[in-house]
Amino acid sequence: MKRVGWWWLGFLARALEPPERDVVLGDLAESGAGFGQAMRDLLGLIVRRQIGLWTSWRPWLSLFGVCGLAGLSLSSIVFRLNVDLGKYLAHYLTDLTDRQEVAFFLCMSVALLVWSWTCGFVLGSLSGRAVWLTWTVFYFVVLDSAWARFVLAGNIILRNPRTHESLLDSLQGTLRLLTATTLPLSIAALLSLFPALFGAFVGVRWRILAVRHAYLIGSVNTALAILTTWATGWYDPAHQPLRWPGVPWSVRLLPFLLVSWPVAYLVATACRQRNEEAETT
């Protein structure tokens, strides 16, 4: 087999645990199998291992809990921040002072960054080697679910009501839609998905944080949930000329709580590990 073939096999074998990776590549080298055969063998083992991972509750919790529950809320927050940032392009006015404007965007941006990192970490920690699949689902849920909800509800239309021309009728329109639904092209999406990706990498490697780090992240998450609830309270009714109705604080807090539930898991696992270590010593 050529060097490039071994490179591909080595790359694919990263889906396996390191000791097994070494053993399997050694077996393939010893068998003298051609590239095609070796690739089939390796893929067969990877598929079996991936299926095996889903016999545990952990990837399912990451799929439904992080991608579903937290991801949907995160998507709404990303969407909202994009709309709020859009006012600088659309030039619609608010009664907010400069200080309030800065405080609101700073608060939302930092919160989005921290929540996304936490979600990514817990996703990686729970999914382990199934992270490539759960991360992909998480990515598309965060990027597209809020848009999809608006499209399904009829608030966003993909067809021109006058000409009845659909966005999908032209190649250019289709490509525009494809890039918008697959690439993080907005500031808010970037603020969310890159920290989440980094968090997932760290989560796969570390699995569990030290208690003091978990407490720190827990405190930051809680503080940001309170701050964003407070900031959204004076942001909504300040829109001109049609003031958006004020929303009760409990309703405003709910999505922030949903998006920050993974921090509870993070703290719980850190505390459990500390207790287990204390029992063994």
Partner 1 sequence: MLGEFEYLLLSAAARLGDGAYGAAIRREIEGATKRRCSIGALYTTLDRLEAKGLVRTWMGDPTPQRGGRQKRMVRVTGEGVQEAKAFYDAVSRASQGVSWAADRARGLS
Residues lying near partner 1 in the complex (CB under 8 A): 19-20, 22-31, 40-42, 44-49, 52
Looking at the Cβ atoms of 49 and 149, the one nearer to partner 1 is: 49
Q: Which residue has the tokens 């503080």?
A: 223
Instruction: Report the nearest approach of partner 1 to the CB of residue 221 (Å).
Output: 38
| Sign of the dihedral through C-alpha 174, 175, 181, 187 | negative
Looking at the Cβ atoms of 42 and 220, the one nearer to partner 1 is: 42
Q: Which of 112, 94, 120 is nearest to 187 (CA)?
A: 112
Instruction: Report the nearest approach of partner 1 to the CB of residue 67 (Å).
Output: 27
Instruction: Report the nearest approach of partner 1 to the CB of residue 244 (Å).
Output: 57
Asked if 199 and 116 count as a contact pair (C-beta separation under 8 A), the reply is: yes
| Sign of the dihedral through C-alpha 100, 103, 105, 111 | negative
Over its C-alpha atoms, the chain yields an Rg (Å, rounded) of 23
Looking at the Cβ atoms of 46 and 133, the one nearer to partner 1 is: 46
CA–CA gap between residue 89 and residue 102 (Å, rounded): 16
Instruction: Report the nearest approach of partner 1 to the CB of residue 128 (Å).
Output: 16
Looking at the Cβ atoms of 48 and 164, the one nearer to partner 1 is: 48
Asked if 38 and 5 count as a contact pair (C-beta separation under 8 A), the reply is: yes
CA–CA gap between residue 238 and residue 246 (Å, rounded): 9
Instruction: Report the nearest approach of partner 1 to the CB of residue 51 (Å).
Output: 9
Looking at the Cβ atoms of 25 and 196, the one nearer to partner 1 is: 25
Looking at the Cβ atoms of 1 and 96, the one nearer to partner 1 is: 1
> Is residue 233 classed exposed, middle or buried when 0-12, 13-18 and 19+ CB atoms within 10 A define those classes?
middle
Asked if 244 and 195 count as a contact pair (C-beta separation under 8 A), the reply is: no
Q: What CA–CA distances, in Å, run from 62 to 20, 101, 152, 204?
A: 25, 35, 26, 12
Instruction: Report the nearest approach of partner 1 to the CB of residue 157 (Å).
Output: 48
